[in-house]
Structure 1
Amino acid sequence: MAENELEQKSSSERQEADSFLIPVPEKNLTCVEYPGKVLNVDRALQTLGGKENISHTILQSGRRLALNFRPGDSFCKPLYGSKYSTTNMLLKVTRKKSPAGSSVKTTDQTTATNNSTDEYSCEMIGTVDTTFKFEGMSDFQYLPMETRPDGSHKPILDELVPSSVEDTSFLKKDANLFIMPGNFSRMDTPSGYLYQKQKSGQDPLLEENLIGKRRKRRPGLAYLVPFDVENVPTDPQPEAAQSVYRMKLKDELEFLTKVAIKN
């Protein structure tokens, strides 16, 4: 009886554990971490160049995904996303709302729910093995606009890049000098910069050594005698004599003690 009860208990625990297992389908997905709040999926795909451009970028290993906030504008500087290999999963969680009429109004105008028994269901969509991350900055953008006398701005993109050529009258008009740089910065990722004073901007008269740098004089045991000194030293310095004495002891004695050297 005890063995049967243990087998039934283990089988029930096994069934309960299997009920929490979610099968993972063999479907590989690609994640794009869009740098913004997506309200319209179609417009977000348009800024990424469409599904065809995304597919080409995924197939090419060294290519980055370009994002244009103003599609169709040749003056828009794209933001590039790098490709990373990831081991993530896409899980779809669905909540079944409570039926209508389950909440009642109280006297203080607050809502109270009688039975908050919302049901949740999980579904595994697939695994995410590739992720595009936009870690750079958007950089500065040049908008093709013209400032009016009243301070308002007028877009001149159609004048700079005509969509259709009807006649040659636009060739005789004065062109708007809207010239933008090819790129504002060489790198679009932020990096630390240590501000240092440029050597070219320093005053050469304020340098410590105007003639040139030389090696620092090493301390020696000799006298430095200028030409204008009357009495020239005749004996060596005490430190020099002591050094010579120690050298003689080293040659005479095979073994020297600390006490013998000091005395």
Structure 2
Amino acid sequence: MSICLTNLWRLHCGSIVLFVISRPVCNLFNTNQKTVFFENVMLSENNSCEEFMAICYPGIVKNVDKALESLGGMKEIEKHNTRSLELNFHRKSNLFSRPVLSKRREGAFLIIRARRLIQADPSSSKQTTNSVQLDVVGTLSSIHDFSSSLFDFQYLPMRKNEDGQYSEIYSALVPSTKEQAERWFIPPIPDQELFLIPFSFTRLCTSSESILSREVANYDLETPGRTAESVRIGDSARKNRKTHTRMAIATDEFPAEPSPLAMKQVNQNTFDPAVHEALEKAFSERPMWLKYSLIVKLKLDERDVKRLLPKFAFHIISGPWGRNWCRYKYDPREDINSWKFQTMHFPFFRFGFSFSIFICLLLLILLVPGGESVLSEAFIKWQIKVSSIGIRSSKEWDKLLTMEPTFEYTEGCLPPLRSMWYQMCDIHLPAVEELLSNRLSENQTESHPTDGWLKSGTLDEIRELIKLDFKKTIDTLNLKASESKTNKGD
């Protein structure tokens, strides 16, 4: 019987050298005997056999506690017994560092303590070695190795002083207490330097090499009838999506008729005549529509509208009439009354707070103990109430949530979506209607490439008016909901 010392690791623990041997446990020793001798090697079985987990730490360990802390501590190591470990040298002190994942390998291993027994020869003053004793310390089922892992860049927030030295600004970027977090919202707000880190760390845990080779190999272009165009690269690739919609930007010449391929596609498909007539009637009444407005107005299936639209209209990509589907042979740049169909985008989900405030509130939740309470106070202070935040237990909220979709903005009503596109004629707000009546450009013979027939800055004023009405509606509904909740409690 022999032992093959393969996949050998030396684990130094004091004066003891432990070997991890990659062999099945049942083949290493005879269970009927306590000690087995072979080739001057003695293997003794220990009655108490423990189970171990090996970690190949990528560094010289002088402080075991700090090494365990970089791995998350003993609790985290025991928790990740069946998963990869995370090695982070700045685990608690720097959020801008990326952990390194270990490569976990499973198997059946033994941890053996080897002792060389030295006996003195009475006839000689020299010492001779007669045997080696191997004690089974325990079993090993998994090994965590960081040698093949990819160590990404680590970022430490700091700035360069006038004397050329660097000082850290981590405490100014990431609050550690509730008081420091609240300081961000009390004027004057401290002006900190920007610390811009990459958008994301690498998504791969191991390094990879790009092999530049042809996607398709072993095909012969010299075969008769076989051309490069007939060779399909990647048979599982998705087929190219074909669209026959005519598109135009604000400065292009608008098309006067649909493309022949669009007409051919419409003629090949069978559509309900009622859908065809409804779209034809809609474009005869109004020359420009938003696709969502057509679907809601006519109560049609989105797939039918999408397939039939290229026959009746072309799509304007940019400009004052961007996102509109315009009837053929109609040019809004030549009609002063087309200001009614100019479009405006309103993101309701961003109402009440800027991007910087959003980042601050997110840090409150993630980093500061008790940050949820600070967050709720901030929401009340800035009145950040979108459709997904508020009291939903009242009849007013339930009525709004179950209402039918609409493409028009009406005073005192919430929009059906968190982001809406509106035409000027679909905003039914008295303040906006009064503003539009006074903001038409006078003595203007041509439309502006960005403002159309309206004066510059009109859309910004309309957004502010919609914001005020939206805020007023939210506050009114929340007040009614709170009163109804109080009455039920009484």
Q: Report the TM-score when normalising by structure 1.
A: 0.53
CA RMSD of superposed structures (Å): 3.7
* Residue 94 of structure 1: how far off its partner (Å): 6.2
* Residue 55 of structure 1: how far off its partner (Å): 0.8
* Residue 123 of structure 1: how far off its partner (Å): 3.4
How do 1:23-62 residues align onto structure 2 when only pairs under 5 Å count?
A: 23=45, 25-58=48-81, 61=82
How do 1:233-244 residues align onto structure 2 when only pairs under 5 Å count?
A: none
- Picking from 73, 77, 96, the partner of 2:98 is 77
Distance in 1, matches of 2:89 and 2:53, equals 21
Q: Residue 185 in 1 paired to residue 207 in 2?
A: no
Q: Residue 127 in 1 paired to residue 148 in 2?
A: no
| Number of residue equivalences | 169
* Residue 157 of structure 1: how far off its partner (Å): 1.4
Alpha-carbon displacement from aligned partner over 1:6-34 (angstroms, at most 9, x marks no partner): xxxxxxxx996698122155322111111
Distance in 2, matches of 1:138 and 1:128, equals 27
| 1:148 aligned partner | 161
Distance in 1, matches of 2:116 and 2:165, equals 49
Runs of 4+ in structure 1 over 4 Å off: 14-19, 93-96, 114-122, 167-171
Query: Percent identity of the aligned residues?
Result: 30
| 1:160 aligned partner | 173
67-76 vs 167-176, which moves further: 167-176
* CA separation of 1:120 and 1:149: change in aligned 2, threshold 3 A: farther
Alpha-carbon displacement from aligned partner over 1:183-220 (angstroms, at most 9, x marks no partner): 33221311222358xxxxxxxxxxxxxxxx789xxxxx
| Structure index of larger Rg | 1
Is the 8 Å Cα contact of residues 42 and 133 (structure 2) preserved in structure 1? no
* Residue 148 of structure 1: how far off its partner (Å): 1.7
Alpha-carbon displacement from aligned partner over 1:65-95 (angstroms, at most 9, x marks no partner): 1110112121110000132112222233468
- Picking from 63, 83, 88, the partner of 2:109 is 88
| 2:85 aligned partner | 65
Alpha-carbon displacement from aligned partner over 1:123-148 (angstroms, at most 9, x marks no partner): 32101111112221111111111122
Is the 8 Å Cα contact of residues 139 and 188 (structure 1) preserved in structure 2? no
Q: Report the TM-score when normalising by structure 2.
A: 0.30
* CA separation of 1:49 and 1:95: change in aligned 2, threshold 3 A: farther
* CA separation of 1:94 and 1:70: change in aligned 2, threshold 3 A: farther
* Residue 57 of structure 1: how far off its partner (Å): 0.7
Distance in 2, matches of 1:142 and 1:91, equals 42
* Residue 49 of structure 1: how far off its partner (Å): 0.4
- Structure 2: which amino acid aligns with 1:87? A
Query: Which stretches in structure 2 are left out of the alignment for 5+ residues?
Result: 1-34, 118-124, 214-227, 231-490
* Residue 160 of structure 1: how far off its partner (Å): 1.4
* Residue 176 of structure 1: how far off its partner (Å): 2.4
Is the 8 Å Cα contact of residues 43 and 134 (structure 2) preserved in structure 1? no
* CA separation of 1:170 and 1:117: change in aligned 2, threshold 3 A: farther
Greater percentage in helix: 2
Is the 8 Å Cα contact of residues 42 and 134 (structure 2) preserved in structure 1? no
How do 1:162-177 residues align onto structure 2 when only pairs under 5 Å count?
A: 162-166=175-179, 168-169=182-183, 171=185, 172-177=189-194
Is the 8 Å Cα contact of residues 97 and 153 (structure 2) preserved in structure 1? no
* CA separation of 1:22 and 1:177: change in aligned 2, threshold 3 A: same
